[in-house]
Amino acid sequence: MVEVAGGASRADASGQVIVRAAAWVALIGGLLFGTRPDLRGGRAVALILAAAIALPLVQLVPLPPAMWTALPGRDLITHAALGAGEPQPWRPWAIAPGATVNAASSLVVPAAVLWLMLGLGVEERRRLPGFLLCLVLASTLIGLVQVSSFSFDNPLINESPHTVSGTFANRNHFALLMALGCPLASVWAFGAREVRPWRHVAGLASMALFLVAILVSGSRAGLLLGSLGLGMALLLSGATVKKALGRYPRWLFPALVAGVLAIVLGLVLLSIAADRAVSINRLFEQDPGQDMRSRGLPTVLSMITDYFPFGSGLGGFDPIFRIHEPFELLKSTYFNHAHNDFLEIVLDAGLPGLVLLLAALFWWGWASVRAWRASLGPDAMLARLGSAMLLLVMLASVFDYPARTPAIMALVAIAGVWLSGRSGARRASSLPAAA
């Protein structure tokens, strides 16, 4: 369901209703009939998510007039009410409470995924990387079909016409999914204890397909994310491949790496020659969206100062920005997000959001060091995969807002549990097997 309807971040997208309803059904069904989850497999992730859910709920609590008017950034609204001769009512902390309700509601998706993830059995956990890889491949194929100008209208998301974005409304989010597919393919292809040459070929072919999809998507950020995703894929599989090639000459491993890079370079050159490398072409073009992001950054920073330390309310960037939008930035389209989720979190949630963000980043760094230092084994491989996936999402969040889509939210929850060192299984197990 998340694959089909979870590619949009807008609250009015039809898919939001379907995805959230399915998440509620899964969560309630898991609570009533499912296996009791092993919270030891993701306690840190559960605590971070619980704090993230509590924050918008607290922002919806009505405050007395004296307290609300004392919050920074509320002067304009206060003066407007006084000018109209109206008494000050009790108001929630959030300036746009409807948007904050939507922000809180959206978190049911990662909550349901986390609950189900922590209750998985050993065999189910083995199949998860392969299952996720199949979902990424499905979105990739849809994107490649869109290259041929075939009309693929998904009424569940607010997709832009004539763009290559797969099952997403935003091509940058689609490109991030392709980048995430590279380490997933690496672990699925080379992480199993049994040597299966067919899987190695399929994994490498999948990564090549992901890179081609990024090239034709037109996402310039995707070029960076795809390169990093490929590099992480090599890091994840390098030790396993080296060990498997131990009985062969030493030059074989670097020769294989060079061969993979040569194939990637050949695909890039072929795409350029066929005039299909839209992402590379857009590197040399003026992007109105990118220009708006840089021009709007000073206003966003000024807004953070105006509303700090309490914030303006989660999810309310659009109406709040319209209040502060300078005349020279006015145009026929609207600036829906700060296009830097770290800054937007601080703007919306103030100091509490900043503290939660820093705590999450600290946990990721600490857990990542532990995962990459650990001896290679079943849990270590999945923990490294989770670390790599979360890093890609965080980098994408510096210039966009991918984690606001249900599909990426679900992947973040899964990657977080993997990084915790366990995936909810009751006992240790081997590396991911077949999908």
CA geometry: angle 276, 279, 285, nearest 5 deg: 110
Give dist(CA 253, CA 207) in Å, integer: 18
Confidence (pLDDT) at 293: 75
Q: Give the contacts of 266 (CB within 8 A, at least 6 positions apart).
A: none
The tens digit of pLDDT for each residue in 86-125 reads 677 888 999 999 999 999 999 999 999 999 888 887 667 7
Half-sphere exposure of residue 314: CA atoms within 13 angstroms, side-chain side: 25
Q: Do residues 62 and 92 touch, judged by C-beta distance below 8 A?
A: yes
Give dist(CA 271, CA 263) in Å, integer: 12
Separation in Å, CA 305 to CA 11, 72, 283, 297, 397:
27, 9, 33, 13, 21
Number of H helices, E strands in the chain: 18, 2
Give dist(CA 4, CA 154) in Å, integer: 8
Q: Do residues 299 and 324 touch, judged by C-beta distance below 8 A?
A: yes
pLDDT tens series, the chain, 435 aa: 787 888 888 888 888 999 999 999 998 988 888 777 777 778 899 999 999 999 999 999 999 988 988 899 888 777 665 555 567 788 899 999 999 999 999 999 999 999 988 888 766 777 788 999 999 999 988 887 877 656 666 777 776 666 777 788 888 999 999 999 999 998 988 876 666 777 878 888 888 889 888 888 878 888 889 989 988 998 888 766 666 555 556 665 676 667 666 766 665 565 555 555 454 555 555 555 556 677 888 999 999 999 999 999 999 998 898 888 887 777 766 778 888 999 999 999 999 999 999 999 999 999 999 998 887 776 788 899 999 999 999 999 998 999 999 999 999 999 999 998 754 444 444 444 433
Confidence (pLDDT) at 211: 87
The tens digit of pLDDT for each residue in 136-166 reads 999 988 887 877 656 666 777 776 666 777 7
Give dist(CA 248, CA 9) in Å, integer: 50
Give dist(CA 363, CA 355) in Å, integer: 12
Confidence (pLDDT) at 83: 56
Structure tokens at 422: 């366990």
Q: Is 283 helix (H, G, I), strand (E, B) or coil?
A: coil
Exposed, middle or buried: residue 173 (CB in 10 Å: 0-12, 13-18, 19+)? buried
Exposed, middle or buried: residue 370 (CB in 10 Å: 0-12, 13-18, 19+)? middle
Q: What is the value of pTM for the model shown?
A: 0.87
